[in-house]
Structure 1
Amino acid sequence: MAVVSHDEWIRRATLIGKKAEPMVAEAEKTGCFSQELRNYVHQNEMHKVLRPLQYGGSGMGAFTFSEIVRTVANYNASAAWLVYFVILHEQWVAYLDEKGRQEVYDSNGLVGDIFMPLGQVEYVDGGVRLTGQWSFGSGVLWDEWMGLGAIVEVPGEDPQPCLVNVNKKDFQVIEDWNPLGLRGTGSHSVKVDDVFVPWHHVLPVLKVKNKAEPVGGHYSNEPIFKAPFMAFFCLGFPAISTGIAQRVTKDLKTRMKARQRILYNMKESESPIAQRNLAEVMVKLDAIEAMNKKYIDQLEEWIAAGTPLVNEEEKNKMGAWRSHIGKEASELAFHAINLLGASATGSGDPLETAARDAFMVYIHLGQIYEDNMMAYGRTQFGLSGHPLL
C-alpha cells in the first residue's frame, strides 16, 4: 500500500460519513451499522491509517487520526466510533510479538478489543486456554479478531492485565447491546469457552504502557511508538465529542434561523435572547475545538520529540482534558435541545440522537470525569495519579 496523504484520508472519512448518515435510523434500530458500511470502511482501508509502513500501512500521526474521526462524527457519532476503533485497534497489534502481528496484518481483518481483565486462563504448553464473557465489544460484528482482557503471567513478565487475541471462529457474539446512545456501534458481549491462544497473540498491556516497547523489541520509527500509549489510544474520544459539538452547533444555528416564534410574533433570529443564546453556544464550541487542538498538538509535540514516556502530571493531564471536552460537548448538545424545545425531542431527530451519543461518550469508562479530574489533581500534590499506586 502506498502512503496515503492526510487530505486523501479526510476525503475518505467524508465519504464514509455521507454514506453512514442515511443509515443511522436503521443502525439505531438494529444496534449496529450494517455489513455494507463495514465493507465500505474496509475497502477504503481505514484500518491501515496507523499500521506501520513495514506492514503495508500508512503510519499516520495524531492529527490525521483525530481529524478522520472528527470528520465522520460530523455526520454520526456511532459511525465515527466504529471508524475510530477500526483504526485504533491496529495500534496494539503493532506491539504484539512479531509472529502475532504478522498473522493479524496478513489476515487483513478488522480488530477489536475489550480491555476489562475478566477472562480466566489456564496455562498450557505454548500459551493459555481462555474462558470468559466480556461486555461492550464495540464493533464486534465487524471484527475478525478480538483482544480480550485477562490477568496473565506472560513468561518473563509479572502477572498483569493482558489482551488475549482471539479469532472470530473461536468466540461467540451475544447480541445484547441496547443502550441510550451510540446505539449503532454494535457493542455486544463476547463469550469464549476454553480456547487456546499462543503466546505470540498475548499482549502484556502494562509493559506496553509503562515501557513503550513492543514484545520482542522495537522495529520501526512510527508515530504510534513515539507518544504515550494511552494518550494516543484515547484521542478519538475528544475527536468524537468535538465532531458532535460541531454538528449540533451547525444544526442549531440553521434551525434557529428558520424558526418562527408564534407567541411573540417574531422570527427567532430577531430575538435578542436567541441571539445571545446562540453566541454562547458558538463560544462554547470554540473552547471545545481549542482544547481538542491542544490535545492533538501535545501528542504531535511528543511524537516529534520521540517521547513515549512522560511523568505522572503530563499523563493524567491528558485524561483530564479528554473528560472536560466530553463533558462540555454533552452539555452543549442537551442545551441545544433545551433552546429548541419539543421540536428537537422526537426520537431520531438529529439533535436528539447527537445528545444521547455525546452523553455516552462522556460517561465511557475511560472518560469518567470525576476519576480523571481526581487523578490529575493528585499529581498537583506530587502523588501518583492512581490512588492505589
Structure 2
Amino acid sequence: MTHEEAIKRAEYIGQVAEEGLFEADRNNGYSSKLKDAIHETQIHRLLRPKKYGGFGLGHDTMAEVVRTVAQHSVSGAWVTYFMPLHETWVAMLPPRAREEIFASDQFVSDIFFPIGKIEYVEGGVRLSGEWKWGSGIDFCGWIGLGAMVDVPGQPGGPQPCLVTVKVSEGEIVKDWNAFGLNGTGSNTFRINNVFSRWDMVLPLGAIKKNTVPIGGDYDPNEPVYRVPFGPAFCVGFGAICVGAAQRLQRELHERIRSRQRVVLGMKEWESPVAQRNLGEVTTQVETIEALFGRYVNQLKDWCKVGKTSIESEEEARMAAWRAYISRSASQIGFRSLELLGGAAAYRGDLVEVFARDLLMISIHVGQAYEDHMMFYGRAQYGMSQHPLV
C-alpha cells in the first residue's frame, strides 16, 4: 500500500463513518459496518512490520489517514486511529507473541491505566481487575491491560506494563454513555484470574525509554522502530482534532453564507461581524494545522535518523503541542456552535456532535491541557514529567 492509496481508503472509511455518525452517537458505539470497512481496507496494517503482513508505512501516513476520517466523524476517526496504533505496541512484544497476535489479524485494544491485580505464577502472571475507557473494544480480539508488574530481566522492579489477553477471556461491560465520543464504544472490560505468558507482558517503561522490541528479531529500518514511542503513539490525537476543525470551518463558512438574519435584514455573510468571526475561526484552524505539521515533521526527522530515545523536555514539548491543538479544536467546536445559533444545537447536527466529541478529546489524559503545560514547564527545569505520556 502506498501513502496515496491509504488516503483513498481512508476517504471510504470516512464516508462509512459519517453515514453512521448519528446512530453511533445515540447507540454509544458504531455498528460492525465501520469495523468491516477498516478491516476490508486493511488500514489496521499500516504500521505493522512487513515481516508480519503489514505495510510498514510511517506515522505521517497514519496521521493523514486519521485526519481524513476525522473530517467525516470524530468518533469514527478515533476508532480508526486505534486499530493501526495498537499494533505498534504489539510490534514491541517478544517474537512469539508478535507472531501469534499478528497472525490472527484481529484488532487490538488497550487500556493503559496500571490498576490490574497481579498474581505471579509459573510462566507468567494471572490478572484480575476492571478497566474503563476500552475504546473500540467490541471490534477487538486482543487487549493489553495496564498493571504494575515486576518483569523478569527488566531492571528497576515493578513498572507499568500492558498485560495482553484475549477479549474472549473477559467480559465487556456495556456502560459507555458519555458527554461525547459516544461512537467510540469505550466500554468497561473486566477479567478475573486470567493467565498471560511472560512474552505477552510489555514493560512500558523500557519501551518508552527506547523503542527497541523485547527479545530482538526485528528490522530496524521499519518506521515503527525508528521513532520515540510516546510522541509517535499519540500522533493521531492531533490528527483527529485538525481534521475535525477543518470540517467545522467549512460548515461555518457554508452555513453563514446560506443563513438569513431577519433582525439584520440581510444574509449573514454580508455582516462585517460574521465576516470577522469567520476570519478568526479560520485563523485558529490554520494555527493548529501549522503546529500539527511541525509535530509530524519532527517525527519524520527522527524517523530518518532512527532516533528512538529523546530527552524529557523533548517529549514534554510534543505533549504540550498536542494539548494546545486539542484545546484549540475544542474551542473551535463550541465557537462554531455559538456562532451558528440554535439551529446547530439540535441533537443530530454534525456541529453539535463534533463540538461534544472534541471536548472529550481535550480532557483525555494524553492531551489534558493543564497537566501537559505543567509537565512542559517542569521538564524545562529538569524535573520529572508524566510517567506514561
> For this structure pair, what is the TM-score category when the shorter chain's length is used for normalisation?
over 0.9
- Residues 270-303 of structure 1: CA deviation (Å, up to 9, x unaligned): 1111111111111111101001101000000100
- Aligned residue number for residue 81 of structure 1: 78
1:70 to 67, 85, 102: 67
Q: The residue matched to 1:41 in structure 2 has which SS? A: helix
- Aligned residue number for residue 37 of structure 1: 34
Backbone CA RMSD of aligned residues: 1.2
% identity of equivalent residues: 47
2:127 to 125, 130, 136: 130
Whole-Å separation in 2 of the counterparts to 1:386 and 1:31? 30
> Mind listing any 5+ residue stretches in structure 2 that lack a counterpart?
none
Whole-Å separation in 1 of the counterparts to 2:23 and 2:385? 42
Contact 2:110 2:145 in 1 (8 A): yes
Q: The residue matched to 1:319 in structure 2 has which SS? A: helix
1:97 to 94, 99, 102: 94
Q: Which amino acid aligns with 1:26?
A: E
The reply on whether 1:217 has 2:216 as its aligned counterpart is yes
1:116 to 88, 100, 113: 113
Q: Which amino acid aligns with 2:167?
A: K
Give the deviation of 1:218 after TM superposition: 5.3
Q: Which amino acid aligns with 1:184?
A: G
Within 5 A, what are the aligned runs for 1:155-166?
155-157=152-154, 158-166=157-165
- Aligned residue number for residue 364 of structure 1: 364
- Aligned residue number for residue 172 of structure 1: 171
Question: When the two structures are aligned, how many residues end up with a matched partner?
Answer: 385
- Aligned residue number for residue 355 of structure 1: 355
Q: Which amino acid aligns with 1:225?
A: Y
- Aligned residue number for residue 336 of structure 2: 336
Segments of 4+ in structure 1 off by > 6 A? Answer: none
- Residues 86-121 of structure 1: CA deviation (Å, up to 9, x unaligned): 010000000001000100001010000000011111
- Aligned residue number for residue 186 of structure 1: 185
> Mind listing any 5+ residue stretches in structure 1 that lack a counterpart?
none
Q: The residue matched to 2:183 in structure 1 has which SS? A: coil
Contact 2:63 2:239 in 1 (8 A): yes
Whole-Å separation in 1 of the counterparts to 2:320 and 2:194? 38
- Aligned residue number for residue 154 of structure 1: 151
Whole-Å separation in 2 of the counterparts to 1:170 and 1:180? 30
Q: Kindly tell me: are residues 190 and 339 of structure 1, through their superposed partners in 2, closer, same or farther at Cα, counting changes over 3 Å? A: same
- Aligned residue number for residue 226 of structure 2: 226
Give the deviation of 1:43 after TM superposition: 1.0
Whole-Å separation in 1 of the counterparts to 2:42 and 2:75? 19
**TM-score normalised to the size of structure 1?**
0.97
- Aligned residue number for residue 266 of structure 2: 266
Q: The residue matched to 1:366 in structure 2 has which SS? A: coil
Whole-Å separation in 1 of the counterparts to 2:277 and 2:22? 30
The reply on whether 1:145 has 2:142 as its aligned counterpart is yes
Give the deviation of 1:73 after TM superposition: 0.2
Give the deviation of 1:313 after TM superposition: 1.2
Q: Which amino acid aligns with 1:164?
A: V
Q: The residue matched to 1:130 in structure 2 has which SS? A: strand
Q: The residue matched to 1:382 in structure 2 has which SS? A: coil
